[in-house]
Amino acid sequence: MQRITQYLASLALCGFALLGTACSSDPQSPEQIEELPVRLLYGIPADDYRLETSEIAQGETMGKILGHYGVSARLVDRLDRLAKEQFPLRNIRPGHAYTAFIHDDSIQGSHLDYLAYERSISEYVVFGFVNDSVTITKGEKPCTTRRTKRSATITTSLWGAIMEQDLPYALAAEMEDIYQWTVDFFGIQAGDDFTVIYDERFIDDTVSIGIGRIWGARFNHGGKSYYAIPFRQGDKLQYWEADGGSLRKNILKAPLKFTRISSGFSYSRLHPVHKVRRPHTGVDYAAPMGTPVHSVADGVVTFRGWGGGGGNTIKIKHAGNLMTGYLHLSRFAKGITVGTRVSQGQLIGYVGSTGTSTGPHLDYRIWKNGTPINPLKVPQEPTEPISAANKAKFEYVRDRIIAELEGEVAPDQLITQLDSVVLPTPEPVAAESTTEHK
């Protein structure tokens, strides 16, 4: 019996010892608590609120929405006055989403602290009503950038290939900008193809919000390969051919985009209106009314006005005794007058059907020493090539981009190398704000 009593006593002491050990380890001590990350939504700690999400209805105003959440007319008026320069309340649009951040307070009751309105897929504005104050904060949703390499074969047009391969639409415009001096996009043939490396930006890693830098491209056109190598020479990032020649030329291939050639250069064309054969010393580009028209080279405007059968006409004098003409315009761009100096690619007018015309188109003409020449056969002179001082760096960049286009280098390795040599990382877009969320 004594032995059993001693055993129970020992067991009890052990139990107290274990209990003491457990109690001495404070479960609430900071060292053992793992803090959960704060979930931010539009820059606001979302877990502190009850959220309600909806869309702007047709005819609905911000004042009506705020009134529904109990915001007084006095605060709405203050907000309206504050928002005039930041984001006018009348700029809200039907179908755009908004989120209400409601504070459930046992003393003061439920009330609206913030309302976030989505201006676009990536931009937002937050209206705040904390402690009877009014604030406005603009920002952008956090996004990730993904480097991508894609290829496509053209069957009809560059835009057709972009859509068929489900590539970002903006890629077509960027490719046309890069190759506008080199590739004849009106003469693209079935079987031409391209490969391009580019940045694509995503929200939540799933929703694409556009593309960023083009890191390199190869365009196979008419049996010839045209490379586009990005390299910064001087203070400007440009695209260069593989041999170091600039893709920029003294004259653009065409003065407008997104169109087709409806009539070519000829000294004996059947006139579509007068039904007689006469010279047509230009190229007609059929395009929708209002399509922007750009100057193909630097120059000075020598004529702006009515050109008889040519309708609204602009003529520009360029270096090398060249003159270009742009006929049948619907209207002229702002600031274009006789004597105006224009730069290559500058907007000068819009496609129309003025004068003797059967429909919207641009009649584009070029004269050399006063003699008309075929715009599609004008020799192009490249601008300044890669300098001798930059040749080694350029070749380093070129070799790695071509290797990536051929599939021999991993994209992350390529980009790291290029960033460290000549391509600075783009600065992030800073969100504008009139206040900070506490």
Q: So what's the pLDDT on residue 277?
A: 52
Q: Give the pLDDT confidence score for residue 432 in this predicted structure.
A: 33
- Angle made by CA atoms 218, 220, 226, in degrees to the nearest 5: 50
Q: Which CATH fold would you assign to the domain 144-249+384-421?
A: Nuclear Transport Factor 2; Chain: A, (3.10.450)
**229, 416 contact by CB (below 8 A):** no
The answer to whether residues 217 and 228 touch, using CB atoms and an 8 Å cutoff, is yes
Q: Give the residue-averaged pLDDT of 320-344.
A: 94
Residue ranges in 25-129 assigned as alpha helix (H):
62-68, 73-86
Q: Which fold has domain 40-140?
A: Nuclear Transport Factor 2; Chain: A, (3.10.450)
- What confidence category does residue 2 fall into, taking pLDDT thresholds of 50, 70 and 90? very low
Average pLDDT of 76-94? Answer: 92
- pLDDT tier, 53 (very low <50, low <70, confident <90, very high otherwise): very high
The answer to whether 342 touches 300, Cβ cutoff 8 Å, is yes
Residue 184: pLDDT band with limits 50, 70, 90: confident
Query: What is the per-residue pLDDT for 352?
Result: 95
For CATH 2.70.70.10, list the domain ranges present in the chain.
260-377
Average pLDDT over the chain, rounded to whole? 82
- The more confidently predicted of residues 315 and 163 is 315
Length of the chain, please?
Answer: 438
Domain range 260-377, CATH architecture: Distorted Sandwich (2.70)
Query: Rg of the chain over CA atoms, in angstroms?
Result: 33
Q: State how far the Cα of 256 lies from the Cα of 333, in Å rounded to an integer.
A: 14
pTM: 0.62
Q: Percent of the chain scored above 90 by pLDDT?
A: 46
Q: What is the pLDDT of residue 206?
A: 83
Kindly list the distances between the CA atom of residue 94 and the CA atoms of 16, 55, 99, 118, 427, in Å, as whole numbers in the listed order: 69, 7, 14, 11, 33
| Per-residue DSSP letter, 37 | P
Cα separation of 105 and 250, whole Å?
Answer: 69
Give strand ranges (E) for 120-255.
123-128, 135-140, 144-153, 193-203, 207-221, 224-233, 236-240
Q: In which residue ranges of the chain is CATH 3.10.450.350 found?
A: 40-140, 144-249+384-421
